[in-house]
Amino acid sequence: MKAGVALALGLVVAPAVMADEFPTSDRVEYVLECMYRHGGAQALLYKCSCAIDNIAKQYSYDDYVAASTTTRSQGLPADQGGVFRDDAGNRQIATKYRKVQDDALRACGVVTR
């Protein structure tokens, strides 16, 4: 009986976040980095927030983490980034992520340098 009550309560008080939604902290991290990379102006807060919202429409959270990590890791020096640069699948993941990100930034009015 207690297990049934606990299960029922767990379903009632389960977090409202769906598995494919991006956690707020990750959205904030993206927005802050985006603002920094594009000059830091206050207006970028809204534009970069728009960009991550658009990216979130294209990727589940887990796929976003994998794609953004793969893309960033390609910039690691020498052997550290080799597996991310040399593997055709990883190159394809990074190419798609860069396109999705560039499209999102452009759609939201973020001027890339």
Judged against a pLDDT cut of 90, whether residue 9 lies above it is answered with no
Please tell me the distance from the alpha carbon of residue 94 to that of residue 85, in angstroms, as a whole number: 9
Q: Are 93 and 71 in contact (CB under 8 A)?
A: yes
Q: Are 99 and 42 in contact (CB under 8 A)?
A: no
Residue 45 region by backbone torsions, left for phi larger than 0, else alpha for psi between -120 and 50, else beta: alpha
The position carrying tokens 């102006």 is: 41
Neighbour-count burial of 24, counting CB atoms closer than 10 A to its CB (0-12 exposed, 13-18 middle, 19+ buried): exposed
> Quick one: tokens of 109?
């009015």
Tens of pLDDT along 45-93? 999 999 999 999 999 999 999 999 989 887 777 776 666 776 778 889 9
Tens of pLDDT along 81-112? 666 776 778 889 999 999 999 999 999 999 87
